[in-house]
Amino acid sequence: MSGQFGMYPFIISSLWVTVIALLLAGPVCLLSAIHLTQYARPIVLRIMHPVIDILAGIPSVIFGVWGVLAIVPFVGDHIGPLFGKSITGYSILSGGLVLAVMIIPFILNILIEVFRTIPEELTEVTLSLGATHWMVIKHVLLRKAFPGIISAFSLGLSRAFGETIAVLMVVGNVTRIPTGALQPGYPLPALIANNYGEMLSIPRYDSALMLAALVLLVIVILFNIISRWLIFRVERNT
Amino acid sequence: MTGKAKINIEHLDLYIGKQHILKDVSTQIPEKKITVILGPSGCGKTTLLKSLNRLTDLYSNVKVSGKIFIEGEDILHTNMDITEIRKRMGLLSQRPYPLPMNIFNNVAYGLRISGRTNKIVLRKRVQHYLELVNLWDEVKDRLHDPASSLSIGQQQRLCLARGLSVDPDIILADEPTSALDPISSEVVEKKFIDLKSQYTVVVVTHSLQQARRIADYAIFMYLGEIIEQGPASEFFSDPKEELTKSYLKGLFN
Amino acid sequence: MKLGVRKAEELFFRVVMFLATTVILLALLMIIFTILHKGLAAVSWKMISQLPKGGFYFGKEGGILNAILGSIYLASGASILAILFGLPVALYINIHLHKNKRLVTAIRFMLDVMWGIPSIVYGAFGFTVMLFFGMRSSLLAGMLTVTLFIIPIMIRSIDEVMKTVPKGLLESTLSLGSTKSETAYRVYFKQCISGVTTALLLSFGRAIGDAASVLFTTGYTDNLPTSLSEPTATLPLAIFFQLSSPIAEVKERAYASAVILTVIILIISLVSRVSARKYLKHKIK
């Protein structure tokens, strides 16, 4: 390590991983939340409630193990060759995939809550105009839920941004600005976690890492405040 | 009964889970009259109303038996598309629920989804229905504001205009004035009386005074059963059942 | 025709939505299957009753008793500390502050934001404080950091249940002439007991499963923890460190640890479900 501690590559890596995770988890959560609140029979809800709870409770390191055992080989053996690349699988994409599964229960729970707070009468009156159930969802419920959806996604984003161990285990940890999802990356939390040992021996290293932690904290808190404020406003208006 | 029956309900039973909500309900709702369904809360009157356009389909664990004929078509056992049935009935709920759109689109939405998309026609129709509920003058300069910016009374009239826009011949109203101030309530009540020359109106209410003011035909329900029904004049002046008498005296609510 | 298109669109989305839900279910099953498939063979009495021999990273013999016990100590300690602090706070918010809506909203908002702060930040914070006081990584340091990390979870989970208890209940008990607030608390608390149990289990689950907050603060050792000032092994770090070992036998220990941690989490989830159902019967709605 030289005396330079540029944080740019790490922030870029974090963004890559987080955005991929949200792109994967967001649509799945939205579709599933609509399914569970609008169409699913009670039995499906009875199955899915514990599923969501357990998924939310699984420790990050277990997701990491799963990532190493299942996702990394999958990306290395199948996704890489698909693009004509020979890679190990330890990549931004693997990090994004694992992270996506981790934030699914988190986002889904908020979305279910968002759809539940919309009064049923709104559905009833729209149906009475001759709309099909799907039209009610498309034209009315999604519109009504829109601020809630945005905040659910941004809370998921901030959760993903701070996730450490699971991502660290599958993302490769190479200090380089990534330009593609199949390359390894080195997100901010992983940087902090991997280097705590050196903090005591290298001068000024600890303050650099603490700065990294601070950056992480500020970004996450900012996201949280904005999205929770949005949710708060939506709840007050209904 | 005088006049032609628009809706004919025969032996309607409805269960939600194990709860017996409607018990062997049979009645005839006259065309182009105001029929009022009365009863204490929890007596099944709202459920009866919602059965008429099959909004009860939304409940989980619901079981319905019996027949509901609307102009001879049994809507519980029909091959007709359910949306077509619902379109024939405008629904007005307890509180106004404007769609999350602007004022204009709240009325235009129903027209659009039934295929009327010509801009000039839409505008004319929207104006027509807003005038019909005496709202046009109040909103004509702010048609593109969100509907939620209107007062509650205005919102309820907007919802009535929206309900009328799809050209129904029946209006279903579920305690339509319970959330409104007295002045808006009066406007809505007057509108019902105006509308009955063209529409069959079914109003659920727990306000006796309101029922006396607007009803042509009255149905009294208690614990899921119809206790008594008849033309309003007889119903209010000469009730036959003890239960009805004490309800009309205001002994329970 | 138009109707046909509409129907087809709805059908298409219903299928896609159903698939999305299925994907979530499958993801969970895949994770559990992967962990059990790889790890069950490695779990043996020797594994859970012995310490690693010859170093956790290189030694081919021994088990993970150090991590199991360490994790249980750490999570129990942190959960107890967190409930000792969290329960009074939750009670205070709901009983004494509930008329001051703005303040309560602000407190809840703050706690929610704290809940959202990544555990690595708590870890880094704990580490800084530790250095400041000249402490080594130890069971105590880890416990305190984890406590800090689960307190928002604890308070908000209890709070969410207390919120649903009708406020009239407490007021009517107080006005019954039982001027002793003790009675009121007892009645109130009885209503919330399932919530408190769930909160405790949830927090314990977080505490035992989190790696990033203990990474800096608890350290790692092959020995059993004998005092609060010693470094202590934990299950998440046992998995994290040993999985990266080149030696197959050491990796086995990581897989076994993963199985044990997963089973603990599953049991916690099951117990909290059962307790929620059991107490729901007594709850006044």
How are the residues of chain A apportioned to helix, strand and coil, as percentages rounded to the nearest 5?
Answer: 80, 0, 20
pLDDT digits (tens, 9 = 90+) for B205-241: 888 888 888 999 999 998 888 888 889 888 888 888 8
Question: How high is the pLDDT of residue C178?
Answer: 54
Q: Residue B251 in contact with residue B40, Cβ under 8 Å?
A: no
Question: Considering CB atoms only, which of A121, A130, A139 is closest to B86?
Answer: A130
Point out the least confidently predicted range of A49-63, C89-103, C119-133, C230-244: C89-103
Question: How high is the pLDDT of residue C203?
Answer: 92
Q: Identify the residue with better confidence: C281 or A98.
A: A98
Do the Cβ atoms of C216 and A196 come within 8 Å?
yes
User: Residue C12: is its pLDDT beyond 70?
Assistant: yes
Single out the residue of B192, B125, B123, B202 nearest to residue B157, CA to CA.
B192
Count of A-C CB contacts under 8 Å: 188
Do the Cβ atoms of A143 and B110 come within 8 Å?
no
Question: How high is the pLDDT of residue C177?
Answer: 60
Give mean pLDDT, residues B157-176: 89
To the nearest whole Å, the CA of A212 is away from the closest chain C CA by 9
Whose tokens are 């992480």? That residue is A216
Rounded Cα gap, residues A229 and C112, in angstroms: 11
Question: How high is the pLDDT of residue C276?
Answer: 73
Rounded Cα gap, residues A171 and A97, in angstroms: 10
Do the Cβ atoms of A196 and C209 come within 8 Å?
no
In this structure, what token pair is assigned to residue B249? 């005296």
Contacts of C14 in chain A (CB under 8 A): 35, 39, 134
Q: What is the pLDDT confidence band of residue C285, given thresholds at 50, 70 and 90? A: very low
Q: Identify the residue with better confidence: A159 or B81.
A: A159
Question: How high is the pLDDT of residue A200?
Answer: 58
Q: What is the pLDDT confidence band of residue C167, given thresholds at 50, 70 and 90? A: low
Contacts of A42 in chain B (CB under 8 A): 60-61
Question: Considering CB atoms only, which of A63, A165, A221 is closest to C117?
Answer: A221
Q: What is the pLDDT confidence band of residue C283, given thresholds at 50, 70 and 90? A: very low
End-to-end CA distance of chain B: 27
Question: How high is the pLDDT of residue A234?
Answer: 65
User: Residue B147: is its pLDDT beyond 60?
Assistant: yes
User: Residue B82: is its pLDDT beyond 90?
Assistant: no
Rounded Cα gap, residues C204 and A172, in angstroms: 31
Question: How high is the pLDDT of residue A204?
Answer: 62
Residue B78 C-alpha from the chain's centroid? 22
Q: What is the pLDDT confidence band of residue A2, given thresholds at 50, 70 and 90? A: very low
Question: How high is the pLDDT of residue A198?
Answer: 65
Q: Is A42 on the interface with B (CB under 8 A)?
A: yes
Hey, is C252 helix, strand or coil? Answer: helix
Give mean pLDDT, residues B15-27: 88
Point out the least confidently predicted range of A3-17, C52-66, C151-165: C52-66
Neighbours of B, requiring at least 3 CB pairs below 8 Å, are A
Helices (H), strands (E): how many in chain B? 10, 10
Contacts of A131 in chain B (CB under 8 A): 83, 113
Question: How high is the pLDDT of residue A191?
Answer: 84
Question: How high is the pLDDT of residue C284?
Answer: 43
Question: Considering CB atoms only, which of C14, C23, C117 is closest to A28?
Answer: C23
Nearest CA in chain A to C110: A225
Do the Cβ atoms of A159 and C116 come within 8 Å?
yes
Q: Which of residues 157-196 of A touch C (CB under 8 A)?
A: 158-159, 161-165, 169, 189, 192-193, 196
Q: What is the pLDDT confidence band of residue C1, given thresholds at 50, 70 and 90? A: very low
Question: How high is the pLDDT of residue C154?
Answer: 92
Contacts of C243 in chain A (CB under 8 A): 64-65, 68, 169
Rounded Cα gap, residues C165 and A162, in angstroms: 34
Give mean pLDDT, residues B20-27: 89
Q: Is A206 on the interface with C (CB under 8 A)?
A: yes
Q: What is the pLDDT confidence band of residue B185, given thresholds at 50, 70 and 90? A: confident
User: Residue C8: is its pLDDT beyond 50?
Assistant: yes
User: Residue C16: is its pLDDT beyond 90?
Assistant: yes
Q: Identify the residue with better confidence: A195 or A234.
A: A195
Domain boundaries A8-237, corresponding CATH code: 1.10.3720.10
Question: How high is the pLDDT of residue C100?
Answer: 81
Do the Cβ atoms of B83 and A132 come within 8 Å?
yes
User: Residue A110: is its pLDDT beyond 60?
Assistant: yes
Do the Cβ atoms of A128 and B109 come within 8 Å?
no
Q: What percent of chain B has pLDDT over 90?
A: 17
Q: Is A233 on the interface with B (CB under 8 A)?
A: no
Give mean pLDDT, residues C148-153: 93
Contacts 24+ apart (CB under 8 A), B224-231: B224/B20, B224/B21, B224/B22, B224/B23, B224/B25, B224/B43, B224/B44, B225/B23, B225/B24, B225/B25, B226/B25, B226/B26, B226/B27, B229/B27, B231/B1, B231/B2
User: Residue C241: is its pLDDT beyond 60?
Assistant: yes
Question: How high is the pLDDT of residue A199?
Answer: 61
Whole-number mean pLDDT of chain C?
83
Do the Cβ atoms of A124 and B55 come within 8 Å?
yes
Give mean pLDDT, residues B151-159: 90
Contacts of C23 in chain A (CB under 8 A): 28, 32
Rounded Cα gap, residues A227 and C30, in angstroms: 32
| Sign for the pseudo-dihedral over CA of B15, B50, B38, B234 | negative
Neighbours of A, requiring at least 3 CB pairs below 8 Å, are B, C
Q: Which CATH architecture has domain C46-282?
A: Orthogonal Bundle (1.10)
User: Residue A1: is its pLDDT beyond 80?
Assistant: no
Question: Considering CB atoms only, which of A63, A132, A206 is closest to C10?
Answer: A132
Q: Which of residues 91-110 of A touch C (CB under 8 A)?
A: 101, 104-105, 108
pLDDT digits (tens, 9 = 90+) for A176-233: 787 887 888 888 888 888 877 666 555 566 677 788 888 889 988 888 888 888 777 7
Residues 6+ apart with CB under 8 A from B65: B11, B12, B13, B14
Domain ranges across chain C: 2-42, 46-282
Q: Is A59 on the interface with C (CB under 8 A)?
A: yes
User: Residue B148: is its pLDDT beyond 80?
Assistant: yes
Give mean pLDDT, residues B55-68: 86
| Sign for the pseudo-dihedral over CA of B205, B206, B212, B218 | positive
Phi and psi based region of residue B92 (left: phi greater than 0; alpha: psi -120 to 50; beta: remaining)? beta
Do the Cβ atoms of A129 and B86 come within 8 Å?
yes
Q: What is the pLDDT confidence band of residue A3, given thresholds at 50, 70 and 90? A: very low
Q: Is B173 on the interface with A (CB under 8 A)?
A: no
Domain boundaries B5-95+168-249, corresponding CATH code: 3.40.50.300
Domain ranges across chain A: 8-237
